[in-house]
């Protein structure tokens, strides 16, 4: 069985082909260069780029897989959540193909797909259920009680910004590029000083599994403005220090909340998903804490599967078919 999977929920045009459970090929065209000009994803710009790129990406992935469209047995596509103009491009192409090829179509939830990215190149029993899964991206920042493969309950979410959004906004306020996450991560790793905890850790003192990052973002803005007012501009060292303090604060909040939820629900398996899970400091911190506390820790096998990608859409569609859901 050949499965064709589409992902266009934000700014990556990604298409993958699976032969049963095996990922045969994936091609992704990023829009980072274009969005770097605005330091932000403008939905209408993203949608137009998807529309211009999608058939080129489709041709590339079919060539790499050495498959022709007629051989495709089933088509899957991300439908929600995401940027509506972007989602509609993928959905329109995927549904038109399904209709003309007379093949079944599967609608995929983007957050569930991020969670299922943990099954790419892994066995279905590699994740211990029940787990607590932290999904952190630009559009979402949530904690799930992942009870079994297709049973999950949201136990926490952000009350305002997501961590990914905070990374992007902090990068923007320091005049850095888009997406902010990897840029902040790199600058933070160059800082050699001690962690002084100069920013607030909002909601850490309360018995809630919810998050809030807008206060942290405002605190970073005040610090940036204060240093600019004092010295006229931000030095490279200022930028490295603020990036480090900000990133470490986010990591402390996310890891604390994840393990706190696991303890509350008496669960010994923790899972990471979403593009922020590509953050080295976050992965290493959670991995280390899991080891110390005897928790099973799982994150996508490669950063490629942390970011938006069609392989996660395909693997979720595959398991849905196998479980007949
Ligand atoms: O999964 P994604 O493309 O968006 C949604 O599905 O909503 O996630 C994008 C977010 C951006 O905010 C980006 O700054 C963040 O993920 N990100 C990171 C890293 N790589 C990407 N944040 C922190 N560290 C990273 N290495
Ligand atoms: Zn995503």
Cα 202 to ligand 2 centroid, rounded to whole Å: 24
Which atom of ligand 1 is found nearest the CA of 164?
12
Nearest-CA residue for ligand 1 atom 22 is 181
Cα 247 to ligand 1 centroid, rounded to whole Å: 13
Hey, which residues does 152 pair with through a beta bridge?
A: 146
Rounded CA gap, 129 and 151, in Å? 10
Are residues 72 and 32 in contact, defined by beta-carbon separation less than 8 angstroms? Answer: no
Residues with CB under 6 A from ligand 1: 9-10, 137-140, 164-165, 167-168, 179-182, 185, 274-276, 278-279, 307-308
Rounded CA gap, 223 and 101, in Å? 57
From 46, 167, 171, mutation site for ligand 1 pocket: most ligand atoms within 8 A of C-beta: 167
Q: Is the dihedral of CA 309, 19, 79, 323 positive or negative?
A: negative
Q: Which CATH architecture has domain 128-300?
A: 2-Layer Sandwich (3.30)
Is the pLDDT confidence value at 203 over 90?
A: no
The 10s digit of each residue's pLDDT in 2-18 is 999 999 999 999 999 99
The 10s digit of each residue's pLDDT in 281-315 is 999 999 999 999 999 999 999 999 999 999 999 99
pLDDT at 149: 94
Name the residue with higher pLDDT: 305 or 138: 305
Rounded CA gap, 76 and 99, in Å? 12
Are residues 203 and 250 in contact, defined by beta-carbon separation less than 8 angstroms? Answer: no
Mean pLDDT of all residues in the chain? Answer: 95
The 10s digit of each residue's pLDDT in 62-84 is 999 999 999 999 999 999 999 99
Cα 70 to ligand 2 centroid, rounded to whole Å: 30
CATH of 2-117+306-322, one of 3.30.420.40, 3.90.550.10, 3.40.50.300, 3.30.450.40: 3.30.420.40
Same topology between domain 2-117+306-322 and domain 128-300: yes
> Phi/psi of residue 273, each to 5°?
-150, 160
pLDDT at 222: 97
Is the pLDDT confidence value at 205 over 70?
A: no
- Ligand nearest 11 Cα, by number? 1
Least confident of 32-41, 193-202, 307-316: 32-41
Which atom of ligand 1 is found nearest the CA of 137?
8
Which atom of ligand 1 is found nearest the CA of 178?
14
The 10s digit of each residue's pLDDT in 91-131 is 999 999 999 999 999 999 999 999 999 999 999 888 999 99
Are residues 112 and 316 in contact, defined by beta-carbon separation less than 8 angstroms? Answer: yes
Q: What residue spans define the domains of the chain?
A: 2-117+306-322, 128-300
Cα 306 to ligand 2 centroid, rounded to whole Å: 8
Mean pLDDT of the 194-222 span = 88
The 10s digit of each residue's pLDDT in 144-197 is 999 999 999 999 999 999 999 999 999 999 999 888 999 999 999 999 999 999
């Amino acid at each position: 069985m050949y499965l064709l999977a589409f992902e266009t929920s934000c700014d990556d045009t990604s298409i993958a082909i699976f032969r049963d459970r095996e990922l045969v090929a994936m091609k992704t065209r990023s829009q980072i260069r274009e969005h770097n000009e605005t330091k932000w994803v403008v939905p209408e710009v993203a949608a137009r780029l998807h529309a211009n790129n999608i058939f080129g990406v489709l041709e590339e992935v079919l060539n790499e897989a050495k498959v022709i469209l007629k051989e495709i047995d089933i088509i899957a596509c991300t439908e929600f959540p995401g940027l509506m103009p972007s989602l509609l491009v993928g959905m329109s192409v995927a549904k038109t193909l399904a209709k003309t090829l007379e093949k079944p179509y599967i609608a995929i939830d983007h957050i569930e797909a991020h969670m299922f990215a943990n099954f790419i190149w892994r066995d279905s029993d590699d994740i211990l259920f029940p787990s607590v899964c932290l999904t952190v991206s630009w559009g979402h920042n949530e904690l799930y009680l992942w009870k079994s493969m297709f049973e999950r309950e949201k136990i926490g979410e952000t009350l305002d910004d997501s961590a990914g959004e905070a990374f992007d906004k902090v990068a923007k306020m320091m005049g850095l590029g888009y997406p902010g996450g990897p840029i902040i991560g790199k600058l933070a790793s160059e800082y050699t000083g001690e962690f002084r905890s100069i920013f607030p850790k909002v909601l850490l003192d309360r018995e809630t599994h919810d998050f809030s990052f807008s206060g942290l973002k405002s605190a970073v803005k005040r610090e940036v403005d204060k240093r600019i007012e004092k010295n006229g501009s931000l030095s490279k060292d200022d930028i490295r220090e603020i990036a480090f303090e900000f990133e470490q604060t986010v990591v402390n909040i996310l890891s604390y909340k994840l393990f706190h939820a696991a303890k509350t629900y008496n669960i010994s398996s923790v899972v990471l998903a979403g593009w922020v899970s590509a953050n080295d400091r976050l992965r290493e911190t959670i991995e280390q804490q899991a080891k110390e506390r005897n928790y099973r820790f799982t994150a996508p096998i490669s950063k490629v599967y942390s970011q938006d990608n069609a392989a996660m859409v395909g693997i979720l569609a595959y398991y849905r078919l196998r479980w007949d859901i």
